[in-house]
Chains A and B, each alone.
Chain A
Amino acid sequence: MNARKFIQLASCAVTALVVTGCVAPQDNTVFREHPPRSILVLPPLNETTKVEATYSYLSTVTRPLAEMGYYVFPVVLVDELLKANGMPTAGEMHQVALDKVAEITGADAVLYVNVKEYGTTYRVLGSRTEVAAEARLVDTKTGLLLWQGKASDKDSSANTGDLVANLIVAVISQAINSSRDAAHGVSREVNVELFMDEDRGLPYGPYHPKYGQKK
C-alpha cells in the first residue's frame, strides 16, 4: 500500500466515523436511573427580539410531551403560580429553586426551553419563517441533567411566478396566518423534531404503550 492510498483509506474511515457519530442515539443512562413520570414546563427564555416568542412557544410544548407519555403540568396554571410567587418573567422563573418546585407541584422533572430564533422575515417575493429552540430536562430531586436537545425548522412561502400556484399558496398561508402567526405553526414542527425524534428525542413516558421499550 502506497502512502497516497493509505491517506485515502484513512480519510475515508474518519469520514465514516464522523458520519455515524452524528446519528448516534444519545446516552440515556442518567435518564433511566431517574425516569420522570411528570414534567413541568417553564415559560421559555426568549433569546429573540420577538416578544411573543415565550408564550407562543410555551403553548406548543404540552402536546408532544404528553403524546410521548408524560404527565405535563397545565402551563397556564404553572405560569400564574410562578408570577404570584414573585417571578414575573421567564428569566426569573428559570432561576426557581428545584426543591421548591417539587414541594409545591410534585413535579419529577423541569423542562427549561430557550427559544433561539423566532419569527417571519418578509421579502418582496414571499417570506421566510424560522424557529429554533434548545431544551434541558432536569430532575427535581437530584438536579441532574436527564436529557437535552435542540432543533430548528424553516418555512418559506415563495412567490413562484405562477398565477394558479400562487393563488393556492396565498389561500393556504392566509388561512394559517389568520388564526395564528406562522412562527407558532413552525414551533409545532420544531417540537416534533426536538422531543419525538427516534434517536435524539425523549424516551417514552409511563402513559405511552411503548413505555420501557428501547432508547
Chain B
Amino acid sequence: MKRSIDWSTTSTREIGIVPGEPMYRLVWLLALIVFLTGCTEATLYSWGEYENQVYRSLSAGSKSTPEMQVAMLESDVRKARATKKRLPPGFHAHLGYLYFQLGNLERARQELELEKSEFRESAVFMDRLLASVKKR
C-alpha cells in the first residue's frame, strides 16, 4: 500500500522526528545554520576582519605581525568598496597605527586623515596623532 504524507497536517513527531533523537537535533542544527547565515543582515558597517585583527593586536603572544594585519585590513577595504558599505569607526585609525608601526609614515598619515574625514568625532584625537606622526 502506498501512503503519501500530507505535509500540511503532519507534525514532526508523526514523521519520526522525536525530541532528543539525532534527527531532531539535526533539524534544529539546520534551522540554526539557516538562521545564522540569514543574519548577515543590515549592519551599518562592513566589519570584515577588523574585530579579529583588534583581538590579535591586543592578545599577548599572538603570532600575527603588523604586516599580516595590514594585509587583512587592506583586503577589507577592497571588500567594503565592492559592497559600497562604510568601514566601521576606528578602522582607518587602527590601520594607520599599523602603518606607523611598520614605519610607513605616509600611509599612516593618509589613514588617520581618512578616519577624521569619515567620522568628525575623531578629529581631536586624530589631529593629536597626526601631529606626532609629523614630528618623526
Interface residues, chain A, CB within 8 Å of chain B?
37-38, 52, 55-56, 58-60, 62-63, 66-67, 69-77, 79-80, 104-108, 160, 162, 164-165, 168, 179-180, 184, 207-208
* B18 in contact (CB, < 8 A): no
Interchain CB contact under 8 A, A59 and B54: yes
Query: What per-residue 1/0 map shows which CB atoms of B12-46 lie under 8 Å from chain A?
Result: 00000000001001100100000000000001110
Taking the closest CB of chain A, its distance from the CB of B56, in whole angstroms, is: 9
* B129 in contact (CB, < 8 A): yes
CB closest chain-A residue, reference B24: A165
**Residue of A62, A162, A168 with most partner-chain B CB within 10 A:** A62
Instruction: Supply 13 further A-B pairs (C-beta < 8 A) apart from A59-B58, A62-B51.
Output: A56-B55, A56-B58, A74-B115, A76-B57, A77-B94, A104-B124, A106-B121, A106-B125, A160-B25, A164-B26, A165-B22, A168-B29, A179-B52
Interface size bucket, B side? 20 to 34
Residues of A within 8 A of B94 (CB): 74, 76-77
Taking the closest CB of chain B, its distance from the CB of A212, in whole angstroms, is: 16
CB closest chain-B residue, reference A37: B121
Residues of B within 8 A of A76 (CB): 54, 57-58, 94, 97
Taking the closest CB of chain A, its distance from the CB of B101, in whole angstroms, is: 10
Interchain CB contact under 8 A, B93 and A74: yes
Cross-chain contact of A72 among B29, B55, B90, B123 (Cβ < 8 A):
B90
A and B contact pairs by CB, cutoff 8 A, 24 listed = A38-B121, A38-B122, A52-B60, A55-B59, A62-B54, A67-B45, A70-B89, A71-B121, A72-B89, A72-B90, A73-B125, A75-B90, A76-B54, A76-B58, A77-B129, A79-B58, A105-B124, A105-B128, A106-B125, A164-B26, A165-B26, A179-B52, A180-B52, A184-B55
A-B contact count (CB 8 A): 102
CB closest chain-A residue, reference B54: A59
Chain B facing A: main interface SS: helix
Residues of A within 8 A of B91 (CB): 74
* B99 in contact (CB, < 8 A): no
Cross-chain contact of A55 among B58, B89, B128 (Cβ < 8 A):
B58
A148 to B32, CA, bound (A): 32
Interchain CB contact under 8 A, B128 and A60: no
CB closest chain-A residue, reference B128: A104
Residues of A within 8 A of B22 (CB): 162, 164-165
A164 to B26, CA, bound (A): 9
Residues of B within 8 A of A56 (CB): 55, 58-59
Taking the closest CB of chain A, its distance from the CB of B70, in whole angstroms, is: 13
Residues of B within 8 A of A69 (CB): 44
CB closest chain-B residue, reference A79: B58
CB closest chain-A residue, reference B33: A172
A67 to B29, CA, bound (A): 27
A165 to B25, CA, bound (A): 7
CB closest chain-A residue, reference B22: A164
CB closest chain-B residue, reference A168: B29
Taking the closest CB of chain B, its distance from the CB of A175, in whole angstroms, is: 13
